[in-house]
Amino acid sequence: MKHLCDIRPSDGDPYPVLCGGDSATALASVWRAEWRQAVVLGDTTTSELFGRSIASGLRTRGCEVLELEFPPGEDHKNRATKERLEDAMLSAHIERGACIVAVGGGVPLDVGGFIAATYLRGIAHINVATTLLAQVDAAIGGKTGVNTPHGKNLIGAFHHPRAVLLDVDALGSLPTAELRYGLAECAKHATLRDELLFIELERLADDVRPPSAELIQRSVAVKAAIVSADPFERGERAVLNFGHTVGHALEAATNHALPHGAAIAVGMVIESRLAARRGWLDASDLTRLSTLLTRLGLPVHAPCSFERAAPFFSGDKKTTAGRIRCAIPERIGIVRAYEGSWTRVVTQAELREAWT
């Protein structure tokens, strides 16, 4: 695997992001001698496709390996799943010197990271990302958590991994829809900080296929720079929530029938439409973003009414003193603080008007 960059959280040790094929070999290159126990954790799909070979490789290194899995999907990213997996680790006498290897997309990585954050008050973990969405988003930055009936990722912790492995060979196993969902996050990063990446996405939009390592690297670079500067989302990191205020409400309102990447695509358009009406974003940039997402095969219209989604805005993590906040770019490739904040206050009336 190629070394893409190091994430350098201001409060902790840097950790590498590697990109390429052969996750088992790459894992050996970052494995530490003190990790005598390993927990290889994924959903039933990713465990079968990737986890077994990773576990086998660790066993050849002399590690004691516990393999854990749970059913795939956001419906299983919950406290009950976390409790069951933790109980299995306790029964297996997994010690504080162990390392969790979370394998798969955003759900296994979020669950695995959250367990690592709390098990015995914190143990090491490594993310092996096998979906494009996870590679450009969930694997990087140390956000972990589970969902509740009140909303997405409302219970969790910041807990940075010791390494991130982006398995681009795994992308060939993904259906086109999954690639589209990952490209939605690439489009978000491009809209925030990299217009040249946005132009590249426009060039490739009509032929969705596994992206090059170079395109992944450009998207990762945007998130890496922001996360390194603000690891606990006390300021600038809030811009990475562009599209997520609306997107998370849509996921909750549809009981996760709308996948995350699709929800974020719709969220970016609705939030940008609101911004254009407020004069925060030029209408031409709204058109450009909406056109790109449409060409990528992503939805740009909400699948449910505003009234259905509205109750979930109050539970959004960015809501402060009852005020809904959205991260808004200034134009394609540029986002800046506004009146001392990286998010802007919006009203339910404005969101309702921008819904369609």
Which is the catalytic residue, given 77, 82, 162, 237?
237
Note if 188 is an active site residue: no
Rounded Cα–Cα distance for residues 351 and 356 (Å): 9
- Three-state DSSP state, 286: helix
Note if 233 is an active site residue: yes
Note if 150 is an active site residue: no
Which is the catalytic residue, given 82, 162, 193, 260?
260
Note if 260 is an active site residue: yes
Which is the catalytic residue, given 223, 273, 318, 325?
223
Which is the catalytic residue, given 69, 74, 200, 233?
233
Rounded Cα–Cα distance for residues 303 and 282 (Å): 25
Asked if 54 contacts 103 with a C-beta cutoff of 8 angstroms, the reply is yes
Note if 248 is an active site residue: yes
Note if 323 is an active site residue: no
Which is the catalytic residue, given 185, 200, 251, 271?
185
Rounded Cα–Cα distance for residues 56 and 168 (Å): 20
Note if 84 is an active site residue: no
Rounded Cα–Cα distance for residues 198 and 259 (Å): 22
Pairs from 352-355 (Cβ < 8 Å, separation ≥ 24): 352/306, 352/310, 353/274, 353/277, 354/270, 354/271, 354/273, 354/274, 354/277, 355/270, 355/302, 355/305, 355/306
Note if 223 is an active site residue: yes
Note if 244 is an active site residue: yes
Which is the catalytic residue, given 82, 241, 251, 317?
241
Which is the catalytic residue, given 77, 143, 188, 273?
143
Identify the bridge partners of residue 289 per DSSP, sorted by sequence position: none
**What is the rounded radius of gyration, in angstroms, for the C-alpha atoms of the chain?**
20
Cβ-count burial 308-325 (b if 16+ within 10 Å, e if not): ebbebbebbbbeeeeebb
Question: What would the two tokens of residue 252 be?
Answer: 């909750």
Which is the catalytic residue, given 77, 162, 248, 318?
248
Which is the catalytic residue, given 152, 180, 218, 244?
244
Note if 301 is an active site residue: no
In one-letter notation, the amino acid at residue 142 is G
As annotated, the active-site residues are 121, 143, 185, 223, 233, 237, 241, 244, 248, 260
